[in-house]
Amino acid sequence: MKNRLILLEGLPGTGKSTNSFKLYEQLSNNGKKVEWVHEVSQPHPVLFFTESCMTKEEFQNFKMKYPEVSELFDEVAEVRKTTVGIDQDTVSRRWQDSAEQAWYQELLQYDAFPTSLDRYELQALEKWEAFAKKAMEDEETVFILDSSLFQYQIFTYLLKASSYERLEAFVRKIVECIKPLNPLLIYLYREHTEDSIEFLKEQRGEQDLVSTWERDQGEPYYKSKQKDVTAFYDFLHDYAICAEKLFEILMLDKRKIEISENNWKAYEDEMLGLLELHRVKIPAYKAVEGTFVNKEHDFYFTIQDNVMKDPEGVQRGLSPKSQEEFFVEGIPTILQFFGDNSIRLLGRQIIPQWTETGTVYTRKL
């Protein structure tokens, strides 16, 4: 394939993850080796959600100060040009009662998200460069990233009340480092931003939007704004303006797809056409039913009629990849049935621990 990297962008609620999943499924069924990096994949190769980031000097000093965790940190750290990333959740799973340790509390002080833009730009660009280099070495894999190029960057810069010009300059640097992957940018949008806001209210409930505003209201963007959720609606309007401007100026393969009619199959066919792929009929296999348990972590899920109820209580459809493997709707997780009563998780882990790649669940008899 010409495009080794597919970027799906749009306002929250425009179907980025939904359509990423459909592309993931269809690319795989077309015989392509594909890796979907979900917005909340963990650890994430280009974004910061649960990562502490240090300079190499800070990292060495940290290990000298806390020699008891030096070996653990060497195992989990991602070393880049001048920075080192350490996923906090990975550390927590490896070290029992880590939250109570002084070294863990100090580790949290290096959290990458609330840092200054100067430090963020250094850390983030090195992370994108490391991802691009690793992806280029894997010549057969197509990568899908959702909400990474626009959404995460726009949230970061808008909340810091930074100028659009600084945002654009940084996004251009990201695009420059991923150019060898021949990226395809797909921008999903509704004609009117207000329609996207109403869709979010309907699908997620207004309280979800209130929670987002409450989470971020201390950021510089909201300093002179009204003190209620309507300030977040203003934020989304400003987000749309930034995204439209970025889409227009970036020099790479790109396509805008208006989703106002909610004709998702047609949008999916359009995206497949951009990739010169045809829709492959999903095989009609049925997943083994029952309750599957992982005793080590006390997780369980149920399967009935190709619907999975996950450990968080969310129902997700199962789409057959083969007789033994099933895609889990909406996330980059694959259930692999083996033996008579066991399932192994494949794909890429997202933040909930039950999705950890390689975890085995056994059917309760």
Read off the pLDDT of residues 120-133 as tens digits, 9 standing for 90 and up.
999 999 999 999 99
Angle (CA) 260 266 271, round 5°: 100
Q: How far apart are CA 248 and CA 242, in angstroms?
A: 10
* pLDDT attached to residue 122: 95
* pLDDT attached to residue 1: 81
What would the DSSP string read from start to end of 173-222? HHHHHHGGG--EEEEEE-SSHHHHHHHHHHHH-HHHHHHHHHHHTTSGGG
* pLDDT attached to residue 93: 86
Instruction: Return the percent helix, strand and coil in the chain, to nearest 5.
Output: 45, 25, 35
> Which residues in the chain come in under a pLDDT of 70?
none
What's the DSSP call for residue 354? Answer: G
Question: Does residue 236 contact residue 196 with C-beta atoms inside 8 Å?
Answer: yes
Nearest to 338 by CA among 311, 316, 360: 360
Q: How far apart are CA 201 and CA 194, in angstroms?
A: 11
Instruction: Please tell me the pTM assigned to this model.
Output: 0.94
Helix (H), strand (E) at residue 9 = strand 5-10
* pLDDT attached to residue 106: 97
* pLDDT attached to residue 364: 94
* pLDDT attached to residue 181: 98
* pLDDT attached to residue 113: 80
Q: How many CB atoms lie within 10 A of CB 207?
A: 11
* pLDDT attached to residue 277: 93
* pLDDT attached to residue 96: 86
